[in-house]
Structure 1
Amino acid sequence: MSGRRTRNWFALLVVTGVVVACAVCGPDAMAQKNQGPPNALQGFSQNRDEPVKIRAAALELREKDKMATFTGDVYVLQGDTEMRCKQLVVFYEEETGPRPVKAADPGPGGDRQIRRIEAKGNVVVVQKDQNATGDAATFNMRENTVTLVGNVVVTRGTDILRGQRLVVDLTSGVSKMDQGRVEGLFKSGSQSPPDPRNAAEKSNSADKGNTADKGNTADKGNPPEKSNTADKR
């Protein structure tokens, strides 16, 4: 399953892995417009010309219903971005109007236009240090939105965002997490813990200094010895 249209829909998958860049400071901050595409998304855009590879235990193609279903440990890879799920259902429609003649592509991605994709069962999207997981994901091509639902966890480096539903509007750049409480943990600006070896060295130096000071004090307390000449007198 390859071709330009297939590459376009898979480019949407990475969005779920970068929305953690949106700050969550309160109810109003749960839906806000991005100031610009994150660096990870810019990097992924370089992979749009990369081939899309799909592995699954089985593929069922229903021409009448215009849908293709991949089942059994589904694995999708494009460039440095990958997705795993138990089932991947692709809904498509026939293109209308004249189009240039081209070689047929296997699966529903050749002369057909994908309108919706549903990933079900332990959905995991990974792109470099970004990871998004959920029970299911829907990619709506007509509305240009991505929805990840069910125990949603989005991570980027050490930052973590949790919720029940994540909706990303790719046209406006607005990301919204709703249907329950949202929890966020951000550590990107934290400093590295001190090296315990340095602390031990400082402690040893301090102990040595204290010992030397005590020795000097003891010397001052002892009176000078009288000379032998004075004793003879």
Structure 2
Amino acid sequence: MDRKQPIEITAQQLEVLQLQRQSVFTGDVVAQQGDMTLYADKLIIYLQENQDEVDRLEAMGAVRFVQLGRVATAEKAIFYQKDEVLVLTGNAVVIEGKNKISGDEMTLFMKEDRILIKGSEKTRVKAVVVPEEKKEKP
């Protein structure tokens, strides 16, 4: 993902709160930046203080994040723009190919291509890893 690329957002409604440095998008929100697309019912963009750069994005309701063949879903997501870290909470699931990982909270470190999954007292971490089929040489 290239943070220098523009973020394009579509929604049914936008409310700009200039004093709080927030933009609140609601209704069928789609946010796209480079190869990353985020879908949600509501999205709040927080700008950095004294700057016009994005600090973080908070998505709520039917959150779905798609990037390079990886799909992540959750009830809520916070994306920290500078660090390229995505935190998913509430029935978090990541699917990549035939592999599936689920837990109560997931943190995706995109620069490192690393995922940290946490369970809770009620929900354990679950992973389904499907081995790749080896193609026979002719």
Same fold (TM over 0.5): yes
Give structure 1 stretches of 5+ with no counterpart.
Answer: 1-6, 9-47, 96-111, 193-233
Q: Which residue of 2 aligns with 1:164?
A: 104
- Percent identical residues: 27
**SS state at 1:65 partner:** coil
Cα–Cα, structure 1 residues 114 and 127, in superposed 2: closer, same or farther, change >3 Å? closer
Per-residue displacement from partner, 1:12-56 (whole Å, max 9, x unpaired)? xxxxxxxxxxxxxxxxxxxxxxxxxxxxxxxxxxxx64x532110
Pairwise CA distance, 1:172 = 6.3
Question: Residue 128 of structure 2: which of 185, 203, 211 is its match?
Answer: 185
Q: CA RMSD in A?
A: 2.5
**Could you say if the C-alpha distance between residues 126 and 173 of structure 1 is closer, same or farther in structure 2, counting changes exceeding 3 Å?**
closer
Is 1:86–1:120's contact at 8 Å kept on the other side of the alignment?
yes
**Which structure carries more helix by proportion?**
1
Aligned length: 130
**Of the candidates 2, 15, 20, which is equivalent to residue 65 of structure 1?**
20
Match of 2:55 among 81, 104, 115: 115
1:20-99 alignment, distance < 5 Å: 49=5, 51-92=6-47, 93-95=49-51
TM-score, structure 2 as length reference: 0.79
Q: More strand per residue: 1 or 2?
A: 2
TM-score by length of 1: 0.49
Relative contact order, higher structure (CA 8 A, sep 6+):
1
- Whether contact under 8 Å (1:94, 1:113) holds in the other structure is no
Letter in 2 for 1:189: E
AA aligned opposite 1:124 = R
Whose Rg is larger? Answer: 1
User: What's the CA shift for 1:121?
Assistant: 0.6
Deviation of the 1:73 alpha carbon? 0.5
Query: Is 1:135 equivalent to 2:75 in the alignment?
Result: yes
